[in-house]
């Protein structure tokens, strides 16, 4: 039986607009086991990004608990949280968020260099080769296509070998052919590296690759079903 790597209990989040309090997430309780590929589906505005932001400790919930690798993180200070986040989590974003002044290889190396990993370069080179971008290693982000940028971003998310990868609409800026290959790549890398993948997407096509689908509607989990793979 695989261990539970991530769990929430009654996760609730409000935003205040003027004197109005708006509930964005409402009592979300979920549990993810190591190695799963979970897609959080739901239309735009349903709370997917907010949920990933809270799960990764980038913002504090109004109420509820978040357990990450056995530790309750929702009340930890930023100082306590940063090393946990750096060790456990990799991120992939819709807008890629590559550093424009660094080339493909340097972008991938960056998180490993922050940790003073002496193997940053060979690890980055191996990942680049794995995703078929060896020839593009010296290219700057603006010289890369959307699909290539996202492959670089995926390598960067994986270089510190995180146990969890959060991906927020990673194919949102890509055409359908590139989307398909990015999802296949993430799915394959997840198996190779035995990582857990939590992906927000409003595309039902993307959800078909998941091992499990969680449905968000107006900030509530409304359903769950097992994916096809």
Ligand X SMILES: Nc1ncnc2c1ncn2[C@@H]1O[C@H](COP(=O)(O)OP(=O)(O)O)[C@@H](O)[C@H]1O
Number of residues binding to ligand X, judged by CB under 6 A: 10
Question: Which parts of 29-68 interact with Mg ion (CB under 5 A)?
Answer: 48-49
Q: Which long-range contacts (CB under 8 A, 24 or more apart) does 57-61 make?
A: 57/81, 57/84, 57/85, 58/85, 59/13, 61/11, 61/12, 61/13, 61/25
- Determine the interface stretch with ligand X among 44-52, 91-99, 109-117, 145-153 (rule: CB under 6 A): 44-52
**Bridge partners (DSSP) listed for residue 199:** 39, 167
- Determine the interface stretch with ligand X among 37-45, 83-91, 114-122, 126-134 (rule: CB under 6 A): 37-45
Cβ–Cβ under 8 Å, residues 85 and 164: no
- Four-residue CA torsion sign, 146, 196, 221, 229: positive
Question: Which parts of 17-36 interact with ligand X (CB under 6 A)?
Answer: 24
Nearest distance, CB of residue 201 and ligand X, angstroms = 10
3-state SS, residue 65: strand
Nearest distance, CB of residue 81 and ligand X, angstroms = 19
**173 touching Mg ion, by CB under 5 A:** no
CA atoms of 57 and 147, how far apart (whole Å): 28
Binding mask 190-229 for ligand X (x = CB under 6 A): ----------------------------------------
Nearest distance, CB of residue 120 and Mg ion, angstroms = 31
**46 touching ligand X, by CB under 6 A:** yes
Cβ–Cβ under 8 Å, residues 47 and 27: no
Residue from the set 1, 19, 44, 177 that interacts with ligand X by CB under 6 A: 44
Helix ranges, 89-229 (H): 104-114, 120-130, 146-158, 176-193, 204-207
- Residues binding ligand X (CB under 6 A): 15, 24, 42, 44-50
- Residues binding Mg ion (CB under 5 A): 48-49
């Amino acid at each position: 039986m695989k261990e539970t790597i991530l769990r929430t209990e009654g996760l609730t989040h409000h935003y205040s607009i003027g004197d109005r309090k708006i509930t964005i997430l409402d009592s979300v309780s979920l549990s993810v086991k190591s190695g799963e590929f979970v897609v959080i589906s739901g239309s735009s505005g349903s709370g997917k990004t907010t949920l990933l932001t809270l799960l990764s400790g980038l913002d504090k919930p109004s109420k509820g608990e978040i357990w990450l690798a056995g530790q309750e993180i929702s009340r930890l200070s930023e100082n306590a949280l940063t090393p946990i986040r750096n060790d456990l989590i990799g991120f992939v974003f819709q807008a890629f968020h590559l550093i424009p002044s660094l080339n493909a290889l340097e972008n991938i190396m960056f998180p490993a260099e922050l940790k003073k990993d002496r193997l940053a370069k060979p690890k980055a080179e191996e990942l680049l080769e794995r995703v078929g971008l060896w020839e593009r290693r010296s290219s700057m982000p603006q010289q890369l296509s959307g699909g290539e940028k996202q492959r670089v971003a995926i390598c960067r998310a994986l270089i510190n070998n995180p146990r969890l990868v959060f991906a927020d609409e990673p194919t949102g800026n890509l055409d359908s052919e590139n989307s398909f290959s990015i999802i296949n790549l993430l799915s394959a890398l997840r198996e190779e590296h035995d990582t857990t993948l939590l992906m927000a997407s409003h595309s039902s096509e993307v959800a078909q690759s998941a091992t499990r689908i969680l449905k968000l509607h107006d900030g509530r989990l409304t359903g769950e079903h097992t994916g096809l793979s």
